[in-house]
């Protein structure tokens, strides 16, 4: 079926228009962050940051407690991801490899937990944490983030464990491995791509989390980056250059991880395991 | 592709033990005949539960308990005074009666439903169209569009909201400038966040912008799994492009579209972050949707009991949608479980 010239051009034109629509806000964030203030507050927009400057990044990074908050965000996120990986991989092994009563119920339970409306539970969580006298501490935040990403981690890893052929594990056990050793030496290495993609997804979720941090960690040195960013404009007035620099600093790790993830996540992991 | 290489490398590594058993036996030096199934039966029956225990305990304590506790709070008269003095004053269904007989709750619920519907309809229609466009494009243009989609998808929500505030800023905002240039001169100094509808418009654009990529990319991935033979058969039967779409593409994608629509409904219904960070439910509390309403009543105005009751009602609505969604998903995965 031959297409008319018009029929070949319009999809490409639409694609370019859509590309601009989706990229522009991201581009504008970076462009504004690098533009000198004179170019930001100009009657006609300056489309390209020709006189790039790091001044706005300096303003953002010199903000009070900035590095403390970077530390908080990293601590909370990394601890939550590591904990949920450890707990998740153990549970995933049971759910994927063993037959037992209530297995289906547990899976459905975790599926429900994955959809939990955390945004709507902030009041109860605030009161629980206040009664435990743990407001403005990183521990409750870490634990809640861990549970927030646990269902996804566990259910995804279950798929990865199930994809490892039983024969690999059994032949290791025939060769004298205990079940634990077989798991450590045979299954765990094959889970690497799964562990990678689930931990990146977990990282993104915890790094971006807003409502819980908003109610629990109000003190300046206990805040995480999303809270800092959302109040940045209030604190710095209409300094859009610095605000966009702050947004860029916050977004860059996630943008990098995401590009990375896109390449890794879609993997036919055990494609070669049995054939090879 | 690096993925494939990595996977095959790990596979080689793990396949070595069977061919060289001495390496495996060395660490514990255990005698070979012990065999794999030496564990006593009774203990083995408990193993799965022990492995699941940490995950279950964590979920019950940190997710189940707040849910129960939210339920309990909703039956209490808990305002600033009781909160500071740690008092527990039960007041039965008072909070619920007050909410359900008042006008506010119903107004906010209606608004939330309309808001969710507008967003989800736009996301699904535009997302599907972009996905189908991806399938039709040549390799280069597809990559270009995919890059744009992935960038918008990856942007952290709080960062996107900040950028949208800047795009729609009253002074020096690029949107107002463009509108003034193309003839809407009254828009030159328009304050988008000053009225209900224009604030909702910005939120809607933001949510649609950040949600289309998920739908479009997954839909495109799904179209690549449609067997080519189906199209060939359809065109042999004399089906035109539109008929091929309605008789092959659409039926094939229906389960996917169905599940995605419900996911989007759930996500948009609880879109707290976008609405709250853009304008805190303002102006005049006119853009509060249910989660924001619960937050402002509970945390902002310190009517914790009332807020918890609103949250409870919201959770019930969400639970109904979620269980419907799970039924769809479970039906599709029945054999896998």
How far separated are the first and last CA of chain A, in Å rounded? Answer: 42
Chain A residues inside the 8 Å CB shell of B141: 11-12, 15-16
Q: What is the pLDDT of residue A18?
A: 97
Given B3, B10, B159, which is nearest A190 (Cβ)?
B10
- pLDDT value of position B9: 29
pLDDT of residue B42: 62
Spatial separation of the C-alpha atoms in residues B68 and B92, rounded to whole Å: 16
How confident is the model over B268-278, as a mean pLDDT? 95
pLDDT of residue A260: 74
The H or E element containing residue B33 is none
Domains of chain B in sequence order: 94-336 (1.10.3720.10)
Per-residue confidence at B11, pLDDT binned at 50, 70, 90? very low
Q: What is the mean pLDDT of residues B251-267?
A: 91
Confidence of residue A270 (pLDDT cuts 50, 70, 90): very low
Interval A161-170 mean pLDDT: 87
- The predicted-structure confidence for B42-83, as pLDDT tens digits, reads as follows 667 889 999 999 999 999 999 999 999 999 999 999 999 999
Average pLDDT value over all residues in chain A: 88
Average of per-residue pLDDT across B111-140: 95
pLDDT higher than threshold 90 for residue A193: no
pLDDT at position B147 is 92
The string of pLDDT tens digits covering residues A116-156 is 999 999 999 999 999 999 999 999 999 999 999 999 999 99
- Predicted pLDDT of residue B40: 52
- Highest average pLDDT, of B239-248, B268-277, B320-329, comes from B268-277
Domain A58-268 class, CATH top level: mainly alpha
Minimal C-alpha gap between A97 and chain B (Å): 9
pLDDT for the residue B41 = 58
Interface test with A, best of B16, B51, B152, B275 (most A CBs within 10 A): B51
Beta carbons within 8 Å of B311's beta carbon, 6+ residues apart: A120, A121, A123, A124, B70, B74, B291, B294, B298
Are B75 and B93 a contacting pair, CB within 8 Å?
A: yes
| Cβ–Cβ contact A40 with B under 8 A | yes
Which of A5-9, B43-47, B162-166 ranks highest by mean pLDDT? B162-166
**pLDDT of res. A79:** 97
Nearest CA-CA distance, residue A219 and chain B, Å = 16
In contact, B82 and A133? CB cutoff 8 Å: no
Q: What residues 98-137 of chain B have any CB closer than 8 A to a CB of chain A?
A: 130, 133, 136-137
CB pairs under 8 A between A and B: 326
As a whole number, mean pLDDT of residues B196-221 equals 95
Q: Is the pLDDT of residue B335 over 60?
A: no
- Chain A, residues 56-95, CB within 8 A of chain B, namely 87-88, 90-91, 93-95
Q: Return the higher-pLDDT residue of B24 and B160.
A: B160
Give the model's pLDDT for residue A263: 62
pLDDT tens digits along B186-206: 888 889 999 999 999 999 999
Lowest mean pLDDT among A100-114, A231-245, B50-64: A231-245
Residue ranges covered by each domain of chain A: 58-268
* Average pLDDT rounded to a whole number, residues A29-45: 92
Q: What is the pLDDT of residues B277-324, one digit of tens each?
A: 999 988 989 999 999 999 999 999 999 999 999 999 999 999 999 998
Per the model's pLDDT, the better-predicted residue between B140 and B2 turns out to be B140
Q: What is the pLDDT of residue B168?
A: 95
- With CA atoms as reference, the chain A residue closest to B73 would be A124
Higher-confidence position of A168 and A12:
A12
Section A248-267 average pLDDT = 77
């Amino acid at each position: 079926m031959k297409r008319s010239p018009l029929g070949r051009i319009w999809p490409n034109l639409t694609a370019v228009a859509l590309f601009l629509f989706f990229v522009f806000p991201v581009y504008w964030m970076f462009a504004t962050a690098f533009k000198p203030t004179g170019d930001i507050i100009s009657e006609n927009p300056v489309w390209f940051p020709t006189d790039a400057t790091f001044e706005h990044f300096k303003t953002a990074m010199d903000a009070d407690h900035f590095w403390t908050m970077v530390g908080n965000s990293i601590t909370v996120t990394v601890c939550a991801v590591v904990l949920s990986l450890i707990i998740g991989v153990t549970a995933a092994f049971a759910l994927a490899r063993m037959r037992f009563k209530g297995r289906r119920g547990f899976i459905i339970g975790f599926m429900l937990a994955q959809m939990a409306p955390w945004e709507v539970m902030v009041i109860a969580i605030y009161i629980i944490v206040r009664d435990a006298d743990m407001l403005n501490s990183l521990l409750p935040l870490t634990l809640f983030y861990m549970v927030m990403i646990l269902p996804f981690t566990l259910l995804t890893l279950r798929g990865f464990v199930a994809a490892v052929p039983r024969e690999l594990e059994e032949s290791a056990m025939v060769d004298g491995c205990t079940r634990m050793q077989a798991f450590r030496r045979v299954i765990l290495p094959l889970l690497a791509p799964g562990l990678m993609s689930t931990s990146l997804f977990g990282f993104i979720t915890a790094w971006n989390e807003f409502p819980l941090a908003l109610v629990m960690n109000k003190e300046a040195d206990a805040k995480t980056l999303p809270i800092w960013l959302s109040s940045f404009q209030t604190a710095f007035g209409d300094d859009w250059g610095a605000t966009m620099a702050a947004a860029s600093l916050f977004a860059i790790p996630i943008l990098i991880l995401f590009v990375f993830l896109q390449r890794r996540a879609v993997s036919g992991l055990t494609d070669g395991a049995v054939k090879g | 592709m690096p993925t494939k290489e990595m996977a095959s490398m790990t596979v080689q590594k793990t396949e070595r033990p069977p061919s060289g058993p001495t390496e495996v036996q060395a660490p514990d030096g255990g005698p070979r005949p012990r065999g794999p199934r030496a564990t006593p039966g009774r203990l083995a029956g408990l193993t799965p539960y022990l492995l699941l225990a940490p995950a279950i305990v964590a979920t019950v304590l940190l997710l189940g308990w707040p849910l129960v506790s939210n339920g309990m709070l909703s039956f209490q008269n808990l305002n600033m005074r009781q909160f500071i003095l740690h008092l527990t004053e039960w007041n039965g269904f008072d909070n619920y009666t007050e909410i359900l007989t008042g006008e506010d709750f119903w107004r906010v619920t209606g608004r939330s439903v309309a808001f969710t519907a507008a967003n989800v309809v736009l996301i699904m229609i535009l997302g599907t169209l972009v996905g189908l466009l991806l399938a039709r494009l040549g390799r280069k243009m597809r990559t270009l569009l995919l890059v744009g989609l992935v960038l918008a998808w990856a942007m952290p929500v709080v960062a996107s909201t900040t950028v949208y505030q800047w795009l729609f800023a009253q002074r020096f905002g690029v949107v107002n400038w463009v509108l003034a240039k193309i003839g809407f001169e009254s828009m030159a100094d328009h304050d988008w966040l000053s009225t209900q509808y224009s604030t909702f418009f910005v939120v809607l654009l933001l949510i649609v912008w950040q949600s289309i990529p998920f739908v479009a990319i997954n839909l495109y991935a799904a179209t690549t799994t449609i067997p080519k033979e189906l199209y060939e058969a359809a065109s042999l039967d004399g089906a035109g492009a539109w008929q091929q779409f309605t008789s092959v593409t659409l039926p094939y994608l229906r389960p996917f579209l169905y599940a995605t629509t419900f996911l989007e409904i759930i996500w948009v219904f609880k879109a707290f972050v976008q609405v709250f960070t853009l304008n805190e439910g303002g102006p005049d509390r006119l853009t509060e949707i249910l989660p924001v309403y619960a937050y402002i009543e509970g945390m902002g105005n310190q009517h914790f009991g009332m807020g918890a009751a609103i949250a409870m009602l919201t959770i019930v609505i969400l639970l109904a949608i979620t269980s419907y969604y799970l039924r769809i998903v479970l039906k599709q995965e029945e054999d896998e479980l």
